[in-house]
Amino acid sequence: MRSTDRSGLAVMVSVILASFTARPLTRDLSFLGVSWVLVLLIGIVTMALRRARLGAGAVFGTQLVLLAGFVATVAGGMSGEGESWYAHIISVWADGAEHMQSQAAPMAPNDGVKLIFVTVIGVVMVVTDLVVSGVGRAVWAIGPPATLFLVPAIGLGTDTGVVSFLCIALGYLAILVAEGLNSTARWTRGLSSDSAEGFGTATPVVWRAATYIGVPALVLTAILGAAVPTLSLPGFGFGNGPGGRGPLQLSDPTLDLRRNLNQPVDRTVITYSTNRPGGVYLRLASLPRLSSAGFGNVQMSLDRGSQLGQIPGISSEPTERRTTNISVGDFGAEYLPLPYAPRSFTASGEWASDANSLVVVANGRGNRIDSIRDLQYTVQSVDIAPDGADLSTALAGTPADAAVTGAIPSDLPDSLVALALEVTADADTPALKAAAIQAYLRSPRFTYSTDPQPGSGYQALENFLLRDREGYCEQFAAAMATMARAVNIPSRVAVGFLPGERDGDTWQVSIRDMHAWPELYFSGYGWVRFEPTPASVTGAPPAWTVENQGDSSDDPTADPSSAETDAAPSLEPSAPTAPTEAPTSTDGSTAFPWGRTLVGTGAGLLALLVLAAPATIRIRRRTSRLSDDAPAEERVESAWAEIRDSVLDYGGAWPLGSPRSIGHEIGGRLESEQSDTMTQVATIVERSRYARTFTDTDLLAELPEMTEEIRRGLAEPRSFWRRASAILLPRSLFRRPPKP
């Protein structure tokens, strides 16, 4: 088998394995078979072109033509209405992009998404082959396939699983083994063999190299994977698996919100009953991070179990508890719908909670999106319903996650800050500022509409607040939370459900009751719900937010603040804030995290092993080459290969030509005595290759010492950093050796 065939097969295996990592993103797995056909087509044609000795540019151009033709063929088989082929491809792509923006993973089947996935995998195939065979940098081949993994790893709330990591690692290992076999094949005895693409066999050196790199890499991959958001491993305190406490990156609930509000047919998805008057907002998720993309999720440190920790910011917890019996129908989410503030719940399955937000998420294996579907459970909670007059005197507190919920991004548009300051100019306390913002957004000048609006992030907020003044609950909630930040009130956006409609002793919550609202943080009260979305959708705002309010129908720009109560003191903006509340565990324990410490230490040691792998491989390769247990000719060639790799390690270039000319050129870089030794070794190589019989067997015992002398001569004139680099990151391991 030729080296180009071997590399081509390894690249195909690597990309096919990497394609599995995209499976959690969609329910339609037909993209796998189609993409494999594309990978095989590009790979087989590429191997044929390289056998015909076409240049790298011609091969790359042919690959792009194949990719474009295949994508056009796949798109042509998808539904269209008399469009030209290129317009049809663009429209299918656009439809897929829109579908991806409006769907939570795993997405429903869509032709555009399928075409995008196939195209991306094809591009990864072309780029990986270019890296491995086009520019000869096999060690860089981890990059393109890893991009396929990063999308679900970063964006998903469900587990990608250890299999995804292993697919990437095993594919990379296949490329390294193929490159090792190719390197071995290039150094065979005899002029014709040295000049040709040899057969090559898996020598012990190759397999040892693969072991030294592969085993630590695979183990470290699993350990590090347990520390990233979407891999769970049982028994460890990392990840979101059964190990318990660890960081978890959740999906964006606003994608479901946008889609569900526009469902063509409304339907009941949740039924509940409660032992206290009135219905309750059912909270799914909390979005604490404000950035140019809008409000989003963060990684959360989770505690397993059904008992929740202390309510953040509450000076004294209410004693009266609300019991709510909830039944979820045909609705999927990884979040458990709960009234705020939940204290405990009884639900089947594996669950974990975040101490800062009291959000509860599914923590089991498999598809967490289905965790609440057809689920019945009971929740114990307390109502956070402060007295309006008392709240109006409260300070803006400092929550435990103030670095996120209190942060004002440096790129927040000045226009939004200016509007917030204008609206709250006549309000003396943080709570009155919040009430003024709510009254402003609930005024008649703003219109509720679920129609898609232009822009995203800051641009969408500017359009909503300063120009269009039209949007749905997400825009109202994000606008109030952003304006609250601008006047130094910590804020976040909650996503969940409105209370729904009462039906006898129960409440019916429909899919179109999905809703977003802001939560603001006040000292002594913690996170308090506000309701800026118009009354046509939400009814009256919370009672504590309109205590002693003036007529909210007045022009908000003329008098946007609420009227002060008689008891409300005049507070300066620089008034001291409440101390930061430290997060506490459910049981209040402060046990030393032995599991996390041991795993972290193990990960550190494995990282050191991986970093030491290149030096270890190089030393073992040198030892194997200079051993005396091989035939005479192999010992000579091994010594010559060791000198070649040493030249590369110390930053030199290995010249082309006969052994004698190479010996003369390399010798010119050495001191006199070492130069003579290089000439002598070159002479031995010539005799070994071209003589009828090899008669210099008496010099074989001296070859290791002669080789080491030449290595020392190559190292002596180099700088300290070059010598260190030659040991720790030897270039000969990562560069394709030249043909003799």
- Entry pTM: 0.51
Cβ-Cβ contacts under 8 Å for 293 (sequence gap 6 or more): 456, 457
* Listed range (75-84, 380-389, 459-468) with the worst mean pLDDT: 75-84
149 shares a domain with 261 = no
Task: Please check whether residues 156 and 268 belong to one and the same domain.
Answer: no
455: CB partners within 8 A, 6+ apart? 462, 463
Q: What local confidence, expressed as pLDDT, does residue 217 receive?
A: 52
Reduce the DSSP state of residue 215 to 3 states and report it.
helix
Q: Which of 103-112, 475-484, 509-518 is predicted least confidently? A: 103-112
- pLDDT computed for residue 604 by the predictor: 59
Note whether residue 52 is domain-resident.
yes
Q: Dihedral (C-alpha) 439, 441, 447, 448: value to the nearest 10 degrees? A: -100
Q: How many angstroms separate the first and last alpha carbons of the chain?
A: 20
**615 pLDDT more than 90:** no
State how far the Cα of 413 lies from the Cα of 310, in Å rounded to an integer. 36
For range 338-367, the mean pLDDT? 88
697/250: higher pLDDT: 697
Please give the residue that has the higher pLDDT: either 367 or 736: 367
Query: Which of 282-296, 511-525, 565-579, 609-623 has the lowest average pLDDT?
Result: 565-579
pLDDT at 420 over 80: yes
In a domain, 477, yes or no: no
Q: Which of 301, 308, 312, 303 is nearest to 346 (CA)?
A: 308
pLDDT, tens only, 381-412? 999 999 988 999 999 989 999 999 999 999 99
Average pLDDT value for residue range 149-157 = 57
Segment 593-613, tens digit of pLDDT: 444 455 555 555 556 666 777
Mean pLDDT of 88-113: 75
How confident is the model at residue 736, as a pLDDT?
57
Do residues 164 and 265 share a domain?
no
> Hey, what are 254's tokens?
């606003």
For the cut 70, the answer to whether the pLDDT of residue 620 exceeds it is yes
> Of 322, 356, 384, which marks where a domain is finished?
384
Alpha helices in 156-247 (DSSP H): 162-185, 191-195, 204-227
Q: What is the pLDDT of residue 525?
A: 93
Residues 282 and 376 in one domain: yes
Residue 25 φ then ψ, to 5°: -80, -25
Residue with tokens 């070159």: 682
Instruction: Measure the CA–CA gap between 429 and 436, rounded to whole angstroms.
Output: 11
pLDDT of 607 = 62
- The reported pLDDT for the residue numbered 103 is 59
Q: How, if at all, do strands 470-471 and 351-354 pair?
A: unpaired
CA–CA dist 266, 511 (Å, integer): 6
The answer to whether residues 271 and 145 belong to one domain is: no
95 vs 72, more confident: 72
Which pLDDT does position 610 carry in this prediction?
Answer: 66
Distance CA 655, CA 740 (A): 9
Please indicate whether residue 273 or residue 247 has the higher confidence score (pLDDT): 273
Could you say which of 384, 414, 441 is where a domain stops? 384
**pLDDT confidence of residue 20:** 85
Domains of the chain: total = 3
Q: Evaluate whether residue 111 is within a structural domain.
A: yes
Half-sphere exposure of 3 (CA within 13 A, CB side): 23
pLDDT at site 395: 92
- For residue 197, is it within any domain? no
pLDDT surpassing 90 at residue 430: yes
Task: Give mean pLDDT, residues 41-46.
Answer: 92
Residue 305 lies in a domain: yes
Which tens digits make up the pLDDT trace of 240-255? 333 334 444 466 777 7
Q: What is the dihedral of CA 234, 236, 239, 240, to 10 degrees?
A: 50
Contact 348, 327 (CB under 8 A): no
How many whole angstroms separate alpha carbon 71 and alpha carbon 75? Answer: 6
Residue 163 sits in the same domain as residue 254: no
pLDDT of residue 365: 63
- Interhelix angle 56-76/85-102, rounded to 10 degrees, is 80
**Per the domain annotation, does 484 fall within a domain?**
no
What's residue 434's pLDDT?
95
What integer best gives the mean pLDDT of the chain?
78
Across residues 490-518, what is the average pLDDT?
A: 94
Query: Both 311 and 166 in a single domain?
Result: no
Please indicate, yes or no, whether residues 13 and 154 belong to a single structural domain of this protein. yes
Percent of the chain topping pLDDT 90: 31
Residues 38 and 164 in one domain: yes
What is d(CA 339, CA 316) in angstroms, rounded to the nearest whole number? 18
87-112 average pLDDT score: 74
Q: Which amino acid is residue 417, in one-letter code?
A: V
Same domain, 23 and 155: yes
> Is residue 521 domain-resident?
no
- Burial label for 486, CB within 10 Å (0-12, 13-18, 19+), is buried
Residues 163 and 255 in one domain: no
Query: Which of 144, 170, 196 marks a domain boundary?
Result: 170
- pLDDT tens digits for 528-548? 999 999 998 998 899 998 755
DSSP 52-115: TT--HHHHHHHHHHHHHHHHHHHHHTS--SS--HHHHHHHHHHHHHHHHHH-PSSBPP-HHHHH
* Residue 666 burial by Cβ neighbours in a 10 Å radius (0-12, 13-18, 19+): buried
| Same domain as 256, residue 160 | no
Asked whether the beta carbons of 650 and 722 are under 8 A apart, the reply is yes
- Cα dihedral 684/689/692/697 (nearest 10): 40
- The predicted structure's pLDDT at residue 274: 95
Residue 413 lies in a domain: no
Residue range(s) defining the domain that contains residue 51:
3-170
Residue 652: is it exposed, middle or buried by C-beta count within 10 angstroms (0-12/13-18/19+)? Answer: middle
The mean-pLDDT minimum among 50-64, 381-395, 474-488 falls in 50-64
Write out pLDDT tens, residues 190-210: 443 343 333 334 455 555 555
Whether residue 522 contacts residue 391, with contact meaning beta carbons closer than 8 Å, is answered with yes
**Structure confidence at residue 476 as a pLDDT band (50, 70, 90):** very high
| pLDDT over 70 (residue 81) | no
CA 627 to chain centre: 47
